[in-house]
Chains A and B, each alone.
Chain A
Amino acid sequence: MPHPGKAAVLADLRRRIAGPATISAPGSAGGVTTGLPGAEMVAGGCLHEVVAGPAGAGAALAFASLLLARLAAPEGQAAPVLWCQRLDDVHERGALYGPGLAAFGLDPGQLIVARGRRDAEVLWAMEEGLRVPALAAVLGEVEALDFTSSRRLQLAAGASGVTALVLRQDGELGSTAAATRWRLAPLAGAALKNSIGDEVSRRSRWHLELLRCRGGAPADWQVEWHDETGDLAVAAELQQRPDRAPEEALVNNRAPEEALANEQAPAPALAVAS
């Protein structure tokens, strides 16, 4: 029997010590494909934290909705999803809007929204939801998440197989029992030009950082949201933003893949004011 090559052994070892977010083999039950190089799959059945960076509340919400949408309908079969939020969030930051969520792939008909008065009630509602295997995922919006609460959520998610997502504001980023921790900040949008070179609309762009990943390496990307295809893609060119140097992210050595589509943008639904 020929000795397996060194490369094969290394690949096997890498795969064995790989953690939830860097498993590249598709088909792990309940996972989410993200299409990001280095973190193709986000595993289901555990807790993921999404932190909003400075001015990143909208971006974090969009990313969380995206993950939730992909968890709810992995192959087109829709499963219900529980979203827990605080009542004063509704007044301060606005209520969830159906068509906006639908744009990220989340069918509002599958959504159950529970509103509590305090963080403690939101966390309680999340735990109750995590005990019901019929749900695809549970998302909670809290101000801050301490280690004990994150551990409870992680254990509840692991017991039933329902994925838990926590959407929180930037603040004390202490230790957590979550499997992954993401942070988002908005960037200037990518211009879509029509055939004569005029800008007709812009795509949302975010600076997405994977701050913590159990069994994997932190990374960051500049991603772009393609509304028409429903894909998250890594931006081709880096944006020059002199007043926003990211401090903590470790820049990956891998070259960003060619992901920006060459096709022309479809005819826009909006007319630009002259």
Chain B
Amino acid sequence: MRLAAVNAAARAGGVGPGLTLADARALVPGLEVLAAEPAAEAAELAALADWCGRYSPWAAVDAAVQPSGAGLWLDISGCAHLFGGEAALLDDLGARIRGLGFAARAALADTPGAAWAVARFGTAESGPLVPPGRTRQVLAGLPLSGLRLAPEVAEALYRLGLRRIGDLYGLPRGPLAARFGESLVGRLDRALGQAAEPISPRLPVAPLRERLAFAEPIGRAEDIAAGLGLLLQPLMRRLERQQLGARRLELNLFHVDGKLSRAAVGSSRPSRDGAHFEHLFDERLEGLEAGFGIDVMILAAAATQPLAPAQLGLERGTAGRTGRDQDETAAELGPLVDRLGNRLGRRRVIRLAPCQSHLPERAWAARPALAPASAEEDEARSQGRARPLPPRPLRLFPRPQAISATAMVPDGPPVQFRWRRQVHRVLRAEGPERIAPEWWHEQAVIENAVLETPWDRATRDYFRVEDSQGGRFWLYREGLYGPQPDGPGWQPPRWYLHGVFG
């Protein structure tokens, strides 16, 4: 068991990371030891990286585990002016993270590699901020481990007498790469800015963002709603200028104690209606715990689609349904479907659409409401109009209910049947209506002329029956009676209840 990290008091006693536990206990008798929890630490670091989104959305966790401690990357290009300059941003960041209880050092440079080196090995007189263009000079004085090299490479360089990054500047690149590998040269190039090293952010970065920071942390629901309103207006204006409509909005709320709350709403059609989105967010923000307070809110349009500017009609707000045309109706239904879908679930707001199938349970399917009609649907609709069917029930069970029925063999209507432990005596029956399986779906292999084909087994004869109480049902018998073959696979036909009439 080795030590992963020590605090200042232990370091004063002479122990450091990498020492075995026995040696450490020998050096410092009263040492308190805690088990390392790498998973919990990784989660904590990830949460902190998310919280750093209040500075810039390009936040990532430094994946490599170094003995010098864990780290975060933050790309603040274009964000510094919001905090009053780069130095102020660094101070603010450092102060807040230390306030959360971490021991932290921050540095700012032109390239990630340089920032990494300065943060860990930078000296007090150079300061945490590397002025633009002075990367080369500042890096020259830092030790070689600031380049994130593999330990064997660092050791080999050390044995050759190369201690500082500046020692590598004058050396010819070819032999260096041949002797120590491409990684050394690559790291040097990236640290000096001659090669690119992008930071991949933890969360996807939305192109359109509005940010609102509060001088005092807020916690009341009305204040959060008011802040949301203040964010929605400029965002909608920007969308309008770019002729876009939002399909998905994400609201990130940064708490003062390092937590991040997120709320997202979606819309089935691109929209620029601020009031509509506010209404959708109300539902999401209902159960929000403000904790110690929220000091930054960021609203981002995560998914957008082109939306042409709406033409205002001369008559707005005419009452009565007769004055409406299809576009207006669709425009009003969209927000309604969004509200219903956001609370009940998008798959629970549907419309009934015909399909090209004559099996009753496949003839009509549920489609998302407001999804445009597909070509197959139009085709099925016109076919349905051209070929009217016998009466169909008002309600159809998605899975036909198995019943036990008594009927005259081979193809008589049922005389009585038992469903859900209740016996129904059939007074009158109409039918049969034969619906055969779709031969283009089933594999109707005729194995033997004597045996039943799967076709026969799945053929349905539908009956409309009325029982003594007046209830009307749609029953069917699946399978045909034929001369009983000797084969083992034969089963007698079964009865099912498929629907209920009015």
Contact = CB atoms under 8 A, between A and B. Distances in A.
B137 interface: no
Contact of A87 (B348, B384, B471): B348
A125 to B, nearest CB: 6
A73 B332 CA distance: 18
Contacts of A272: 430-431
Given A101-B394, A270-B430, A115 B411 contact: no
Of the candidates A57, A94, A95, A129, the one having the most CB atoms from chain B within 10 angstroms of its own CB is: A94
Interface stretch (B71-79, B181-189, B321-329): B321-329
Given A58-B501, A58-B502, A114-B344, A188 B470 contact: yes
B301 to A, nearest CB: 25
A82 B466 CA distance: 30
Contacts of A201: 430
A269 interface: yes
A95 B348 contact: no
Interface stretch (A9-17, A18-26, A102-110, A252-260): A102-110
Contact of B390 (A115, A121, A189, A269): A269
B403 to A, nearest CB: 14
A62 B502 contact: yes
B25 interface: no
Nearest to A162: B321
A124 B348 CA distance: 14
Interface string A72-104: 000001011010000100110111111111011
A55 B470 contact: yes
A134 B430 contact: no
B392 A97 contact: yes
A132 interface: yes
B352 A61 contact: no
A116 B364 contact: no
A113 interface: yes
A234 interface: no
A65 B333 contact: no
A225 interface: yes
Contacts of B337: 112
A272 B324 CA distance: 48
A201 B499 CA distance: 18
B321 A133 contact: yes
A43 B178 CA distance: 91
Q: Is the interface of A mostly helix, strand, loop or mixed?
A: mixed
Given A58-B471, A100-B395, A132 B499 contact: no
Of the candidates B431, B470, B472, the one having the most CB atoms from chain A within 10 angstroms of its own CB is: B470
Nearest to A160: B319
B394 A97 contact: yes
Given A77-B322, A108-B364, A273 B394 contact: no
Given A58-B471, A115-B344, A134 B501 contact: no
B431 A270 contact: yes
A99 B351 contact: no
Contacts of A47: none
A97 B322 contact: no
A210 interface: no
Given A124-B343, A202-B466, A95 B395 contact: yes
Interface string B345-360: 0001111111000001
Nearest to B348: A115
Contacts of A108: 351-352, 354, 364
A221 B19 CA distance: 94
A96 B396 CA distance: 6
Given A97-B364, A186-B469, A225-B502, A133 B319 contact: yes
A62 B336 contact: no
B142 to A, nearest CB: 62
B393 interface: yes
Interface string B231-243: 0000000000000
B352 A111 contact: yes
A33 interface: no
Contacts of B500: 57-58, 93-94
Nearest to A274: B412
Contacts of B340: 114, 125, 128-129
Nearest to B497: A94
B247 to A, nearest CB: 20
B320 interface: yes
Contact of B348 (A65, A111, A114, A202): A114
Contacts of B151: none
Contact of B321 (A136, A188, A270): A136
A186 B396 contact: no
Nearest to B466: A189
A109 B381 CA distance: 10
Nearest to A30: B321
A270 B433 contact: yes
Interface string B400-443: 00000000000111000000000000011111110000000000
B472 A204 contact: yes
B383 to A, nearest CB: 13
B420 to A, nearest CB: 10
Given A55-B471, A94-B500, A103-B391, A132 B333 contact: yes
Given A55-B470, A98-B364, A132 B336 contact: yes
Given A58-B501, A77-B322, A100-B393, 8 more contacts: A94-B395, A96-B396, A100-B396, A108-B352, A128-B336, A134-B321, A134-B332, A269-B389
11 contacts: A55-B470, A58-B395, A62-B502, A87-B348, A94-B395, A113-B369, A188-B470, A189-B466, A201-B430, A204-B472, A270-B390
5 smallest A-B Cβ distances: which pairs?
Answer: A62-B502, A186-B470, A94-B395, A99-B392, A100-B394
